[in-house]
Amino acid sequence: MNRLTMEAAVAYASLRSSVLLGLTLLAAIAFSQLNATLFNNNLLSFLRNRKPAQGELYFSLKPVNIEHAGKTLPIGCHLITPRKFYTHHGIYLGGGEVVHYSGLSRSLRPGPIEVINLENFANGKPLWVIQEPRHYSSDEIITRARSRIGETQYKILSNNCEHFCSWCVSGKSYSAQVNAYFHCPRYLLALISTLEPQLTA
């Protein structure tokens, strides 16, 4: 295969990937909008109170008033905030600071685990505390989170912001939303659409 043929093959593969990604995003947008009309606030209540399936982690959510968060948030708590197609996760360090995996939040190039302020973490969206079983004290959770600051090994399916926070809190790297995308995406997208526009913290 000559160089021109190879370049054409690479260009075709790149174009094909871009088209497939675009179609996937369009389908996800349509699906998210459909879910927003089909599922109402009762879904959040259902997800909060239902018993978990085997292998699924149980948690409940508590809304946070971001204006008073610095005084009321416990250090080491696991925070989430909705984005368009996912929930973003971080660990509260105290003093209005959150450590999170910046991942793909700024560009297509994965970012590091870093410390940012609470307002930047929330990015104008509602903020929630995940109330879940902890295997470490608050100080240990913070120590674990700080030990990974600067890490640049982000992988959307195996080492994302939720994997990082789960590891800090429980010692297990786990992402309920990655699991949900593969097993029950309609519930996850409905939860995200419920958290984002209708409930404010």
The domain that holds 174 is classified in CATH as 3.90.1720.10
Token digits of residue 173: 């790297």
Phi, psi (degrees; rounded to nearest 5) at 78: -95, 115
pLDDT digits (tens, 9 = 90+) for 77-126: 999 998 877 889 999 999 999 999 998 766 677 899 999 999 999 999 99
Token digits of residue 56: 């699924």
Q: Does residue 20 form part of some domain?
A: yes
Which neighbouring-strand residues pair with 16?
none
Q: How many domains does one find in the chain?
A: 2
Q: Is the CB of residue 86 less than 8 Å from the CB of residue 161? A: no
pLDDT digits (tens, 9 = 90+) for 150-198: 999 999 889 999 999 999 999 999 888 877 666 665 555 555 555 555 4
Q: Are residues 34 and 66 in the same domain?
A: no
Q: Structural domain of residue 34, as residue ranges?
A: 1-38
Tracing tokens 């409905």 back to the chain, one arrives at: 190
Cβ contacts of 76 within 8 Å, gap of 6 or more: 91, 92, 134, 136, 137, 138, 139, 140, 141, 142, 169
Tracing tokens 């699924």 back to the chain, one arrives at: 56
Q: Does residue 174 form part of some domain?
A: yes
Q: What share of the chain is helix, strand, coil (3-state, %, to 5)?
A: 45, 20, 35
